[in-house]
Amino acid sequence: MKPQATVTYLFHSGFAVETADLFFIFDYYSLFPKKLEKTFANGFISGEYLAAKPNVYVFASHAHGDHYDPVIWDWSTETDITYILSSDIPARPGIRKTYSLAPGEKWTDDNLEVLVYGSSDAGASFLVKTNGLSIFHAGDLNWWHWSGETPEEQKYAEDLFKTELDKLTGQPVDIAFFPVDRRLEEAYCIGAEYFAEKIKPQVLFPMHFGTDCKATSAFKERSRNKQAPFATYEITHRGQQFSYPPASL
């Protein structure tokens, strides 16, 4: 029987994953609209909310403002949190359970194992293994094919991405979070499709689309038309929840 989890979309590249006894937060980025009530149902996280959760782990893949929000440190005043950060993010003095990791490193405790991979932009990506469940968060690892760049720059970006992804090949991935970004125009999902072909995740959640939720609809339709061998989702709003494993698996 597959392990069960609930995945909650927070915003942009931010997700929460909850299992029976663990609670993970990846790349929290608040940028919270004033019109929304600050609740978890709307993708907002507070220390008070986390205080009711066992074994909280907070991940940040790099120091870019849309992946690392310093508000994550405030949560530690309400509850015990383990912070797992890319090495380009400075630790907050006085917070004991903070681990800064570089690509190629591994970190473990009694609950999980974290393998750290690189990025084709900044910082790191994380593979988290726990109780038979494998979760990959790409951070800014992607095939960044910008139409305005020269052919040489485009080839460099492609090679950088594929070389890094080769290091992950062979690792089983149940749940993946990967950029699907329509600023790349027609190339908006070439990285996600290449990742899915090479790594073969069971479920792929699109991310890094900001407020452009229609990017997830386009990716889901494209994946359906190509009969992609993974489940994916249309994401429509903050706080949207998904069950793992999906009924299709």
What tens digit of pLDDT does each residue of 32-59 get?
888 899 999 999 999 999 999 999 999 9
* CATH code where residue 195 lies: 3.60.15.10
Q: How many Å apart are CA 109 and CA 104, to the nearest integer?
A: 17
Contact predicate 198/170, CB 8 Å = no
Q: Can you read off the two tokens belonging to residue 138?
A: 């790409």
Containing structural domain, residue 170? 5-244
Q: Are strands 106-108 and 113-117 parallel, antiparallel or unpaired?
A: antiparallel
* Residue 249 belongs to some domain of the structure: no
What tens digit of pLDDT does each residue of 191-219 get?
999 999 999 999 999 999 999 999 999 99
* Residue 169 belongs to some domain of the structure: yes
HSE value, Cβ hemisphere, 13 Å, CA-based, for 17: 25
Residue with more model confidence, 226 or 151: 151
Phi, psi dihedrals of residue 215, rounded to the nearest 5°: -60, -35
* Residue 175 belongs to some domain of the structure: yes
Amino acid at 93: P
User: What are the residues facing 242 on neighbouring strands?
Assistant: 7
220-224 mean pLDDT: 93
pTM: 0.96
What tens digit of pLDDT does each residue of 160-202 get?
999 999 999 999 999 999 999 999 999 999 999 999 999 999 9
pLDDT at 122: 85
Q: Which residue has the tokens 């492609």?
A: 158
* Residue 68 belongs to some domain of the structure: yes
How many structural domains are present in the chain? 1
